């Protein structure tokens, strides 16, 4: 099989560290035991080659031989199909994992990310705008809560759906959005307790910390 | 092959008509020439069987033999794999269509839907909240614009990615959010001019209009 190369930024500010989406891909690669190499592109300025791989100027992307893939969901699905550790082998289980992968990104993150942006920006309180986004998110969590109370992982066994969902909920939890949804919070704790998450997270932090060092070398 | 059954609401209010997400599935089924049947569940109240198929209490879901799938993105992908009209046959083209499907739902709709909710609710103007969401959406459209100016369809040939992206952008266009992005608007026009969209859209409107008639019959 071709070498897998994960590309992320060379450096990011403190705030997003530990939450940059290359984490989802690192986590999946660690879970699957697939060897990979990490490459970097400048956080700024973003050049034409970057946009050729990732049309929105974001990260990550993955190259697998002559195929270059952007969108963390598409990368997770691609890696899922490379082995049998990230997607169930039976068609029903596989279908379940795929629908939950989309649910994480299109039903839950679509509510959770704008909510987190508002929480981070301090747009929190009594305004109708905040209440509308909060209601949007809470509507999703209310339905998710009994599901996550009743099963360990979304598709029976741990899959790419859990990598996406746990990472989406982890961002909400960062701004204390899971306080009234304990099963969602327990699920996040369960997921991020896995050795593959711990390694992926530490590797992301180390990657950006190393960039700090080389930046300060240049300055000295 | 098993019979395909698409389930949607029996009725919805006027505003969402033409935009209920069963449209994406109808459109794909029409493009692929796959025979299907439409079934209905009550808009209200939503019962346990509904939640068993769609854990967030939304629509649509699709049953294909003993597999029941929710999330429009997952359904589109499932239908894409059933034939060769909705996904390119070659691995690179297929990968491209899948990444753009995720991009439509996770990069563009994640900005576009909250924006449309705010526009619909009248939360438009000079508030920092509106400006933040507007900036989030415009950031995505700015990168999409040259891409859609340079190609007819996202993955070369028409695919499920275009069904998702055009439907996502169509909602933004409804609230005039594409005014400064003519290539995005032309792309929507191109997509919704396809006979399969026209039929799917008319079928959805007719489905809900028929419910109005039967509701008024009950009352008379």
The complex scores an ipTM of 0.96
* CATH code, domain with A36: 3.40.30.10
pLDDT for B182 beyond 50: yes
Q: Which neighbouring-strand residues pair with A8?
A: A40
A194: distance to nearest CA of chain B, Å?
A: 25
Q: What is the pLDDT of residue A34?
A: 96
Domain that holds residue A60: 4-85+196-219
B56/A107 Cβ within 8 A: yes
Of the residues B61, B62, B65, B74, the best mutation for testing chain A's interface (the one with the most A CB atoms within 10 Å of its CB) is B74
Q: Which residues of A touch B98 (CB under 8 A)?
A: 74, 77-78
Q: Are residues B214 and B186 in the same domain?
A: no
Q: What is the pLDDT of residue A99?
A: 98
B118/A129 Cβ within 8 A: yes
Q: Are residues B21 and B106 in the same domain?
A: no
Q: Which residues of B touch A184 (CB under 8 A)?
A: none
Q: Are residues A12 and A58 in the same domain?
A: yes
Q: Are residues A109 and A173 in the same domain?
A: yes
Q: How does residue A84 score in pLDDT terms, banded at 50, 70 and 90?
A: confident
Residue of A67, A69, A127 with shortest CB distance to B129: A127
* Other C-beta atoms lying within 10 Å of the C-beta of residue B197: 21
B129/A67 Cβ within 8 A: no
pLDDT for B216 beyond 80: no
| C-alpha to C-alpha distance for B21 and A60, rounded to whole angstroms | 29
**Residue A25: CB partners within 8 Å, gap ≥ 6?**
A6, A60, A62, A72, A75, A76, A79
pLDDT for A219 beyond 80: no
pLDDT for B156 beyond 50: yes
* Other C-beta atoms lying within 10 Å of the C-beta of residue B128: 13
Backbone angles phi, psi at B155, to 5 degrees: -105, 30
Q: Which residues of B touch A70 (CB under 8 A)?
A: 99, 103
Q: Are residues B200 and B190 in the same domain?
A: no
Total number of domains constituting chain A: 2
| C-alpha to C-alpha distance for B10 and B44, rounded to whole angstroms | 9
Gyration radius (Cα) of chain B, Å = 18
A101/B69 Cβ within 8 A: no
Of the residues B64, B91, B105, the best mutation for testing chain A's interface (the one with the most A CB atoms within 10 Å of its CB) is B105
Give pLDDT tens digits for A19-72: 999 999 999 999 999 999 999 999 999 999 999 999 999 999 999 999 999 999
Q: Which neighbouring-strand residues pair with A62?
A: A6, A69
Q: What is the pLDDT of residue A216?
A: 61
Q: Are residues B102 and B181 in the same domain?
A: yes
* CATH code, domain with B113: 1.20.1050.10
Identify the DSSP state of B179: T
């Amino acid at each position: 099989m071709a070498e897998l190369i994960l590309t992320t930024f060379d450096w990011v500010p403190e705030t997003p560290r530990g939450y940059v989406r290359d984490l989802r891909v690192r986590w999946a690669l660690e879970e699957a035991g697939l060897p990979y190499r990490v490459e970097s592109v400048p956080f700024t300025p973003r050049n034409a080659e970057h946009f050729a791989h990732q049309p929105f100027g974001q990260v990550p992307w993955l190259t697998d031989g002559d195929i270059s893939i952007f969108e963390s969901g598409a990368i997770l699905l691609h890696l899922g199909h490379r082995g049998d550790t990230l997607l169930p082998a039976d068609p029903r289980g596989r279908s379940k994992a795929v629908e939950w992968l989309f649910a994480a990104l299109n039903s839950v993150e679509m509510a959770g990310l704008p909510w987190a942006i508002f929480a981070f920006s301090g747009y929190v309180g009594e305004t109708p705008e905040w209440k509308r986004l909060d209601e949007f998110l809470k509507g999703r969590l209310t339905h998710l809560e009994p599901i996550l109370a009743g099963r360990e992982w979304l598709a029976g066994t741990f899959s790419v759906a859990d990598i996406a969902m746990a990472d989406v909920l982890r961002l909400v939890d960062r701004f204390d959005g899971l306080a009234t949804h304990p099963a969602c919070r327990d699920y996040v704790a369960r997921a991020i307790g896995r050795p593959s998450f711990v390694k992926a997270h530490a590797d992301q932090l180390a990657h950006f910390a190393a960039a700090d060092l080389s930046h300060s070398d240049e300055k000295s």
